[in-house]
Amino acid sequence: MPDRLQRYRDKRDFERTPEPGGSGDAPEGARRFVVQEHSARSMHWDLRLEHEGTLASWAVPRGIPPDPKKNHLAVRTEDHPLEYLEFHGDIPEGEYGAGTMRIYDRGTYELEKWRDSEVMVVFHGERVRGRYVLFRTDEKNWMIHRMDPPEDPDREPMPEKLAPMLAKSGPLPKGGEWAYEIKWDGVRALAFIEGGRVQLINRNLRNVTARYPELRELGRALGPREAILDGEVVAFGPDGRPSFQRLQRRMHLTSDAQVRRLAQSEPVAYVIFDLLWLDGRSLMERTYAERRAALTELELAGPRWQVPGHHVGDGAALLEASRRQGLEGIIAKRLDCPYMPGRRSSGWVKVKNFRRTDVVVGGWMPGEGGRSGRIGALLMGSYEDGELRYAGRVGTGFTEAELLRLQKLLEPLARDSSPFSGTQPPKGARFTEPELVASVDYGEITEGGTLRHPSYKGLRDDVDPHDVAIDRAEIG
């Protein structure tokens, strides 16, 4: 008989790797299986079935599917020796499959069918149980499908997309029914984690995972668990404080090479503050206190992600501490508040140390002197009753590089007529389609809706222009 382990042996140097060489004559006993969590170049799971003296093996990138509604890819790999049923440890760098191998589950299985293109089994493990079929789709690739109902009949499929819950502006709420968190100066993103992989979805429901490759390791940290997290992508400056301007250098990159380079030199962090879904269960109808407790139990502390503390009661002290550190402010959250995706709720209240808002860019004023012929100021607006209202000009806070970038972005959006209703900008204004959103700091908002002493902080593409509105609570 041909040596079914020859491919396995050919790929490995057994003087360097701790993996078993395989005697090749181990007797086959009960039908056993193992699922190994393999943290290699890409996170995946290895399914191995004892069959005819070796372990038939498949790499399953997203793990064994618990729900019959989802099939997962399973890539057929070389047979492994029976000793691999017990193998766990580190495969050295430079060796085939380099990385950490951990046993996720093991047990026995009943064989119902074994053909070259189809394997049907019933697993009896501690975690993996039920009737499954592996079926070939081409020469190398297979799919694995659960055939019986999920063991947990109440299990829910993970939502594909959700819009984050938003806070209202207001005075600091007080009382023992409130918890308080730091308000982070970054961009909001929900993390959908499944099969050791993470997808970051912003407020506009766009996938921004590719912009922040250093956050992909969060998926490995959760292993086989499935979760939806809510948090903020933040760039910390040398002083340890969040820097929206520093984040700007990451938000708009399109070159993969630039993204990789800045991920090394100016990495971001994911600051996690809520847990919306976990292992087949929505937590959104549960209270903030319950969700926070479940988030704490996940123990998510890593090189590029963190779960900052929250404080129940004494919000004034946290607000003052945030002011002393030059932070934007805090968020007050009612302990009994459920999570309401896509809604701006009075159960979450943002209290700012300084005023910042988003504005729609509706054009620009030509500069004078050193800025002659170029942008001197941006024309700002916000929506009210479906119409774009003029909110003044912002002419400070720009770097020369940012002015050049804005010029290139605005030139293709040029239009002849004003996009603003009612009060108009001064003569000489150049108008554009209202497609860009900018973040500005300001002193106050007049009764007419004009921002006084605004300073430009950067563009943001996670906010829809039609969602930009003046917060009436900040007028005056």
The residues annotated as belonging to the active site are: 183
How far apart, in whole angstroms, are the C-alpha atoms of residue 198 and residue 218? Answer: 7
Tally of residues, the chain? 476
Residue with tokens 């701790």: 18
Residue type, 196: G
Q: Give the CA distances from residue 155 to residues 61, 62, 184, 225, in Å, rounded to whole numbers and listed in that order.
A: 21, 18, 33, 13
- Pick the closest to residue 432 from 421, 448, 416 (CA basis): 416
Neighbour-count burial of 122, counting CB atoms closer than 10 A to its CB (0-12 exposed, 13-18 middle, 19+ buried): middle
Q: How far apart are CA 90 and CA 148, in angstroms?
A: 35
Q: How far is CA 117 from CA 139, 144, 146, in A?
A: 9, 12, 17
E-strand ranges in 43-117 read: 43-51, 54-60, 72-80, 89-91, 99-115
Are 105 and 116 in contact by the 8 Å Cβ rule? The answer is no
